[in-house]
Amino acid sequence: MNRPLPIVERKMLSVPQGEFELVRNPPDDNLQAWDSADEFLLSHMDDLQILSAHSKLLILNDACGALAVALATCPVYSWNDSFLAQQALRDNLVANGYPPEQVKTNSGIDFPAVAVDCVLLKIPKSLALLEHQLYALRPVLHHDTHIAAAGMSRHIHKSTLELFESILGPTTTTRARKKSRLILVERDHSLNEGQSRFPDCYELEVDRCYRIINHASLFSRGRLDQGSQLLIAHMPVGDQYRHIVDLGCGNGVLGIIAAALNPSANLLFCDESHIAIASASENFHHAFAQTRSVEFRVDDCLQTVASASRDLVLINPPFHQQHSVGDAIAWKMFKDARRVLVTGGELRLVGNRHLGYHAKLMKLFGNCETIAADSKFVILSSSKRA
């Protein structure tokens, strides 16, 4: 069954390939579903005229599907770590007259195992993810594969270009156009040394020592972040917490410690990132083997979780999606948490003090208690009342 299309304003992308109605996910009336770097890439592809109905095209990090929709007449593989971005792509394909399966998307963290004729890459926020992706690209490139990357000029640095040159080959950049820039890469097949440094890991001491594995792009990948440290120090413990959710789980640290301190609980780890879920799964099974009841879901917040089914939801909410900053994701997390909690169930979260999450929680739950705070972060708790 197809997911209902979001009821939001659709905006029109006009490029040489045609005009396309596009919507963002999560919706935001102040932002559009593409940027000038998408327009620049599509103009570049029109100038080259190298794609045919049989050309295999791989697109990476296509935030809302603008590139894939505009080029959907040829075989397209779209790799994206974001489940929200994949939803946006499917919605935008349908809105523009294509079936949702017109573009092949990934269901995990692996690239398609097929040689491609063209690679288009939007520069991700994480330099670690970019490095990992460039290494992962090597096996799918043949001698004539065209490689072009794009981003806003302010997001392309010397370190960005050095990664392309050291992993794939000679790299040139275009002049800026509407504050965006292209990176054009010539594959040097003699560059075959080295491999991705990811996943990497660190050790965490709480009630015992945990080995925390982190795939590329995860927040606070090299160590436990200060906010999570504070929440772990004030982790809820009690027999009433039988069904616990780690929402926006990242590498799963919060849920793992909650499981250790609540040994009778079963756990659900949810994140919109395929990379996060892969990391959380590895970490949980390394900590508990097969001794605990656990589930992992790549999901849009708690969209597929039954209402009134959980006793505790833990959140360390993000306030950005790639390069876009806002509270739309956190707001949806809070609303979904309230829906899935049983009466008397608790939402406990950590957030930056200046974000003012207490006001949102008061509006949603009618109550909000400050559990702890330091100079930067605050631990908040809200209970679902009848």
Beta bridge partners of 59: 78, 120
Confidence of residue 217 (pLDDT cuts 50, 70, 90): confident
Q: What is the pLDDT of residues 9-22, one digit of tens each?
A: 568 999 999 999 99
For 235, the token pair is 């982790």
pLDDT of 4 reads 52
Distance CA 119, CA 148 (A): 6
Helix 253-261 to helix 274-288 angle, to the nearest 10 degrees?
30
* Distance, CA of 17 to CA of 244 (rounded, Å): 48
- For the chain, list the domains and their CATH numbers: 11-185 (3.40.50.150), 200-383 (3.40.50.150)
Average pLDDT, the chain: 93
CA separation for the pair 135, 142 (Å, rounded): 14
Tokens standing for residue 121? 């890459």
Q: In this predicted structure, what is the pLDDT of residue 80?
A: 96
Percent of the chain clearing pLDDT 90 (strictly above): 88
User: Please, are residues 310 and 340 in contact by the beta-carbon 8 Å criterion?
Assistant: yes
Outline where the chain has alpha helix (H): 36-48, 66-70, 83-95, 127-137, 158-167, 226-233, 253-261, 274-288, 328-340, 357-365
Task: For residue 163, give both structure tokens.
Answer: 């990664």
Going by DSSP bridges, is the β-strand pair 243-247/209-214 parallel, antiparallel, or unpaired? Answer: unpaired
Each residue of 264-284: pLDDT tens digit?
Answer: 999 999 999 999 999 999 999
Q: What are the structure tokens assigned to 132, written together?
A: 């990992």
> How far is it, in rounded angstroms, from Cα 264 to Cα 311?
13
pLDDT tens-place string over residues 288-307: 999 999 999 999 999 999 99
Distance, CA of 90 to CA of 86 (rounded, Å):
6
Structure tokens that stand for 111 in this block: 């690239």
State how far the Cα of 162 lies from the Cα of 170, in Å rounded to an integer.
10
Q: pLDDT digits over 321-349, tens only?
A: 444 455 788 999 999 999 999 999 999 99
pLDDT score recorded for residue 78: 98
pLDDT single digits (tens) 229-258: 999 999 999 999 999 999 999 999 999 999
DSSP string, 246-286: EET-TTSHHHHHHHHHSTT-EEEEEESBHHHHHHHHHHHHH
pLDDT tens per residue, range 149-189: 999 999 999 999 999 999 999 999 999 999 999 999 999 99
Q: What pLDDT, on the 0 to 100 scale, is given for residue 1?
A: 43
pTM, rounded to two decimals: 0.92
